[in-house]
């Protein structure tokens, strides 16, 4: 959707949404490209590599669409997809879209309770999964009366049918359902950091709404020779609609490879071996990769790297330039309304710590609780103005939560921030992450960035803990870098580092060394859990 412009203002002011009245994600991502064009490269855990063309995607998704509809699923029914990055994951989502069904991506590391909650909440009638996840489904199956069909990609098993055997018997021709922009396509459950997970329902327009927010941080993606990969699971919006589906829309191949546990050296090898040119790398992954010695030995040749979920700071940006020869472009969004702010180093200056500027096509502002837009420089709620094609339709069967998400026509993200006079947005924190200490309002992001700039710190998280004099005291949880042992002396050194680099009121008065930090499945620090630890 975006074409290069001489400057940001020209690009933003000149943008218009080229969106049709009728649109189907499944048709768009599998049927419109030459059938012999490369679509997916699947690298299995054993190292075996298989390639799939768009013709393969089209035929296989048609077979699965026929299978689902022949099994009694009708337009609007929900299909759970409990798989890692794999070809069948793409087949399942595309098939659901073509058949007018609603796909529900599910994370393979979810436990039984998490799966039961989501499958029951959305009333899933079918599930596509693998042998590794079947035991969890078996434990909860009797509590899911609506789940009539379980398909396993690894062959038949008790309570599950053989996906591939059934697909082989189905026709590879399918007449897709005629869908409109607001017809339901996808339910993605929020990570549940602020209460029980809610199912964000998106229409087919959500992919079109994502495109400018993918193209800008990926430096006007696509270009000839591009190939996209992310270590983020396709069960989350960052993997599914920031990487897989927009790449397929553009006819760009995607590397499918999901590590069991993120290995930073393996990530470098993957980028090099497959000649990956574009990546979405969560900040946590980048911070772990920064610990790898001698990254130049991998001979990685990247064109663009986008990152979002936690603020990138000066230290990480500098490392990115030195390691990859490019500027990491931070972007911002959330499950309900994704990719609305972004950086683009080739178009405008990247200011360390900033989430960037509004992506063309989106109206983003800072508002108060009543939805009144605040002047530049003031801290308030980061909000997005409706109508907007990337915005969710609402929370699944939760009208009260949907209404609470808005103040007038502004969707409230739940994050606080400020916008400067040049239109750059600066993240302060979640509404409940902001620390009030000695009369100052302090966001954790800047402090955490400063902490991770210390050579003894691998990962850091900052929270406010109750203090009778200061209201709150800043406390840092530190995962030490390799070769550094926790000690009182090291804690004092780290405190001094922040006091010198930032400000006296922003240094952590309490430092606790830990082996790991609580993270959501998308790599975001769960500060609420740390606050509860005290």
**pLDDT per position as a tens digit, 422-476:** 999 998 877 667 687 865 667 787 788 889 989 999 999 999 999 877 778 999 9
The pLDDT assigned to 409 comes to 97
Last residue of a domain, one of 179, 203, 220: 179
Q: For the chain, which ranges sit under pLDDT 70?
A: 191-195, 431-432, 434, 438-441, 503, 521-522
Q: Which CATH number belongs to the domain containing residue 127 in this structure?
A: 3.40.50.980
pTM for this one?
0.85
Q: Return the number of other C-beta atoms located less than 10 Å from residue 252's C-beta.
A: 24
Q: Which CATH number belongs to the domain containing residue 502 in this structure?
A: 3.30.300.30
What value does the CA radius of gyration of the chain take, rounded to a whole number of Å? Answer: 23
Distance of CA 128 to the CA centre of its chain: 21
What proportions of the chain, in percent to the nearest 5, are helix, strand and coil?
A: 30, 25, 45
Is residue 504 in a domain? yes
Is residue 413 in a domain? no
| One-character DSSP codes across 207-260 | HHHHHHHHHTTTTSS--TT--EE-SS-TTSHHHIIIIIHHHHHHT--EEE---S
| Helix H or strand E encompassing 201 | strand 199-203
Strand partners, 304: 278
293/279 Cα distance (integer angstroms): 21
**List of E strands, 133-183:** 149-152, 161-162
Phi then psi dihedrals of residue 490, to 5 deg:
-65, -40
| One-character DSSP codes across 388-412 | -TTB-SEETT-HHHHHHTEETTEEE
Q: Are 82 and 115 in contact (CB under 8 A)?
A: yes
Is residue 115 in a domain? yes
87/409 Cα distance (integer angstroms): 39
Max CA pair span of the chain: 72
**pLDDT per position as a tens digit, 311-331:** 888 989 999 999 999 999 999
Last residue of a domain, one of 179, 196, 221: 179
422/294 Cα distance (integer angstroms): 38
Phi then psi dihedrals of residue 370, to 5 deg:
-95, 0
The pLDDT assigned to 283 comes to 85
**CA angle, residues 527, 234, 149, in degrees to nearest 5:** 115
Is residue 528 in a domain? yes
Is residue 157 in a domain? yes
Is residue 517 in a domain? yes
**Tokens 């042998």 belong to residue:** 131
Cα separation values, 92 from 39, 211, 380, 515, Å = 15, 22, 41, 38
Last residue of a domain, one of 179, 201, 230: 179
End-to-end CA gap in the chain: 47
Phi-psi region of 316 (alpha: psi -120 to 50; beta: other; left: phi over 0): alpha
The pLDDT assigned to 194 comes to 47
**Domain membership of residue 496 as a residue range:** 434-533
Q: Pairing mode, if any, of strands 410-419 and 406-407?
A: antiparallel
196/337 Cα distance (integer angstroms): 19
What is the 3-state secondary structure of 351-388?
CCCEEEEECCCCCEEEECCCCCECCCCCCEEEEEECCC
Domain count, the chain: 2
16/348 Cα distance (integer angstroms): 20
Is residue 222 in a domain? no
Is residue 285 in a domain? no
398/371 Cα distance (integer angstroms): 21
């Amino acid at each position: 959707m975006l074409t290069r412009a001489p400057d940001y203002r020209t690009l933003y002011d000149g943008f218009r949404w080229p969106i049709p009245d009728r649109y189907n994600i499944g048709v768009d991502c599998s049927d419109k490209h030459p059938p012999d064009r490369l679509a997916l490269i699947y690298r299995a855990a054993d190292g075996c590599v298989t390639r799939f063309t768009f013709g393969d995607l089209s035929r296989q998704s048609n077979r699965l669409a026929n299978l689902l509809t022949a099994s009694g699923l009708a337009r609007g029914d929900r299909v759970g997809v409990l798989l890692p990055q794999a070809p069948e994951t793409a087949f399942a989502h595309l098939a659901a879209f073509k058949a007018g069904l609603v796909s529900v991506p599910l994370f393979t590391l979810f436990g039984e309770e998490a799966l039961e909650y989501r499958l029951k909440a959305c009333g899933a009638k079918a599930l596509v999964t693998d042998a590794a996840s079947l035991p969890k489904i078996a434990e909860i199956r009797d509590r899911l009366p609506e789940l009539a069909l379980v398909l396993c990609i690894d062959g038949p098993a008790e309570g599950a049918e053989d996906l591939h055997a059934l697909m082989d018997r189905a026709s590879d021709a399918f007449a897709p359902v005629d869908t409109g922009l607001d017809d339901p396509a996808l339910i993605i459950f929020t990570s549940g950091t602020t209460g029980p997970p809610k199912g964000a329902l998106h229409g087919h327009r959500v992919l079109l709404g994502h495109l400018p927010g993918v193209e800008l941080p990926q430096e006007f993606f696509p270009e000839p020779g591009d190939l996209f990969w992310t270590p983020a699971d396709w069960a989350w919006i960052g993997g599914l609609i920031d990487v897989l589906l927009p790449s397929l829309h553009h006819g760009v191949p995607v590397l499918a490879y999901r590590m069991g546990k993120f290995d930073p050296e393996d990530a470098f090898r993957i980028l090099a071996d497959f000649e990956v040119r574009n990546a979405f790398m969560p900040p946590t992954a980048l911070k772990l990769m920064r610990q790898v010695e001698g990254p130049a030995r991998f001979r990685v040749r990247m064109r663009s790297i986008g990152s979002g979920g936690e603020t990138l700071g000066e230290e990480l940006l500098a490392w990115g330039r030195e390691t990859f020869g490019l500027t990491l472009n931070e972007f911002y969004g959330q499950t309900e309304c994704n990719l609305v702010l972004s950086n683009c180093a080739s178009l405008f200056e990247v200011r360390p710590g900033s989430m960037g500027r509004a992506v063309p096509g989106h109206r983003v502002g800072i508002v108060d609780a009543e939805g009144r837009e605040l002047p530049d420089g003031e801290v308030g709620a980061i909000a997005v103005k409706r109508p907007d094609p990337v915005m969710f339709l609402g929370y699944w069967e939760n009208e009260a939560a949907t209404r609470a998400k808005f103040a007038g026509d502004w969707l409230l993200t739940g994050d606080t921030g400020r916008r400067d006079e040049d239109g750059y947005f600066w993240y302060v924190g979640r509404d409940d992450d902001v620390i009030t200490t000695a009369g100052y309002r302090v966001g954790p992001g800047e402090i955490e960035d400063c902490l991770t700039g210390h050579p003894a710190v691998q990962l850091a998280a900052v929270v406010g803990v109750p203090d009778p004099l200061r209201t709150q005291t800043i406390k840092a949880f530190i995962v030490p870098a390799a070769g550094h042992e926790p000690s009182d002396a090291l804690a004092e050194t780290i405190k001094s580092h922040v006091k010198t680099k930032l400000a006296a009121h922003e240094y952590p008065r309490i430092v606790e060394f830990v082996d790991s930090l609580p993270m959501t499945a998308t790599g975001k620090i769960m500060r609420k859990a740390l606050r509860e630890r005290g």
